[in-house]
A and B are shown apart, each in its own frame.
Chain A
Amino acid sequence: DAGVIQSPRHEVTEMGQEVTLRCKPISGHNSLFWYRQTMMRGLELLIYFNNNVPIDDSGMPEDRFSAKMPNASFSTLKIQPSEPRDSAVYFCASSLAGGGPEKLFFGSGTQLSVL
């Protein structure tokens, strides 16, 4: 298995533009998590899905952020409009529901820079 695949690896955009981050979880995994990593706040859980259904989005910073999981093999995190303070590394992770967090596999992350 190729692991959790995120794209793009790097994204540089201008303030106000829409940004879409993509994630392909490991085949067979039915839980998917989006995390954001910044120097100031460390790793924060933004949202997670079980069986394509958003379970907890309390970590989503504001309405500019939205996440979808249209099917078991694909998820997006969208920021519209983007702001410089959104600059961070965004990680996607997947696991089997009920498998416990020790079974969490992370993607390589998307480095987002908003100018």
Chain B
Amino acid sequence: AQSVSQHNHHVILSEAASLELGCNYSYGGTVNLFWYVQYPGQHLQLLLKYFSGDPLVKGIKGFEAEFIKSKFSFNLRKPSVQWSDTAEYFCAVNYRGSQGNLIFGKGTKLSVKP
């Protein structure tokens, strides 16, 4: 079955620390990849996406993600986190031909200490 794995359930960092959140997906053909963010009490928002082309994708708020096809991975990174980055982050995959369905990982909660 198609699935998405996020390696860390909860990550705690101090401000200015670097962040990397892992995401792996199961093989299922050509994929579109996404990271969503959910700030406390808010709805899911798109952080960045990859469809094709440059595997290093830059999103909002200084986030970036790298698609490594050979590893079926799409890890999220940020060089220096801020307290305002405290949120839950979801990796999601759309397998092309699946009519727009998104399969989400279970999410990683990020807590940034001021």
Contacts and interface: CB of A to CB of B under 8 A. Distances in A.
B42 interface: yes
Interface stretch (B18-26, B74-82, B101-109): B101-109
A76 interface: no
Nearest to B102: A101
A42 B32 contact: no
A97 B43 contact: no
Q: How large is the interface on A (under 10, 10 to 19, 20 to 34, 35 or more residues)?
A: 20 to 34
A48 interface: yes
Nearest to A4: B43
Contacts of A42: 90, 104-107
A42 B103 CA distance: 10
A90 interface: no
Given A31-B100, A43-B90, A91-B43, A101 B107 contact: no
